[in-house]
């Protein structure tokens, strides 16, 4: 990863002189998103998944202790399975990026991420919990990548990277 970053093209940083204030920029971004159905749908799905799914890892120690009767090292191993799933999900996303561009695929990944997370809470079996954790990490990694791709691909240059104060210009 460091080698790839080191070999990548470097741009020059140019301050954006057209800044109108943070509240106006947020308002402009929200209006732009509201008018673009792909951005709106992606943002709503992202909000739901992030609000409902992303904090499940805080329950893993309780699941390990109370449902699976594991000690700290067993709980740590459960957290490892999430990472294994995330790595696999990242690899699959990179390989299947053309299929990931299909609308229905994104929705399936969102649903699968939520379903896998819900199942974790109902497991009393180590193998089933492990499978759910791997699936959860897998689908969440895909979800994050696909969400970013959807938002970047469907935004005009003017609205890409609005959270930053600078624009990067790549030399030709």
- Average model confidence (pLDDT) for the chain? 78
Q: How does residue 171 score in pLDDT terms, banded at 50, 70 and 90?
A: very low
Residue 166 has pLDDT above 60, yes or no: no
Pairwise pLDDT comparison (172 vs 157), residue with the higher score: 157
Contact 135, 112 (CB under 8 A): yes
Identify the pLDDT of residue 16.
59
Mean pLDDT of 142-146: 85
Count of CB atoms situated within 10 Å of the CB of 40: 14
Write down the pLDDT at residue 67: 85
pLDDT in tens, 96-130: 776 656 667 778 888 888 888 777 766 778 888 88
> What pLDDT shows up at residue 14?
56
Q: Among 4-8, 23-27, 66-70, 82-86, where is mean pLDDT lowest?
A: 4-8
| CA dihedral angle for residue 100, residue 106, residue 112, residue 115, rounded to 10 degrees | 170
Above 60 in pLDDT, residue 168?
no
167 pLDDT above the threshold of 50: no
Q: Ranked by mean pLDDT, which of 1-5, 7-11, 46-50, 116-120 comes out on top?
A: 46-50
CA distance 165 to 132: 40
Contact 139, 45 (CB under 8 A): no
User: What pLDDT was estimated at residue 51?
Assistant: 79
Reported for 26-30, long-range contacts at CB under 8 A and 24+ positions apart, including other chains, are 29/159, 29/162
Quote the pTM value: 0.70
């Amino acid at each position: 990863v460091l080698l790839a970053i080191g070999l990548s093209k470097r741009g020059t940083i140019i301050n954006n002189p057209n800044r109108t204030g943070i509240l106006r920029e947020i308002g402009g971004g929200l209006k732009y998103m509201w008018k673009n159905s792909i951005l709106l749908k992606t943002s709503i799905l992202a909000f739901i998944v992030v609000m409902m799914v992303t904090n499940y890892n805080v329950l893993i120690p309780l699941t390990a202790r109370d449902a699976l009767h594991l000690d700290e090292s067993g709980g740590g191993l459960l957290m490892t399975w999430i990472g294994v799933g995330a790595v696999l999900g990242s690899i699959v996303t990179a390989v299947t990026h053309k299929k990931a561009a299909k609308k229905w695929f994104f929705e399936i990944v969102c649903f699968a991420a939520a379903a896998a997370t819900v199942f974790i809470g109902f497991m009393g079996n180590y193998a089933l919990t492990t499978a759910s954790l791997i699936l959860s990490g897998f689908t969440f990694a895909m979800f994050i990548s696909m969400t970013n791709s959807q938002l970047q691909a469907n935004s005009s240059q003017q609205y890409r990277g609005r959270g930053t104060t600078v624009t990067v210009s790549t030399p030709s």
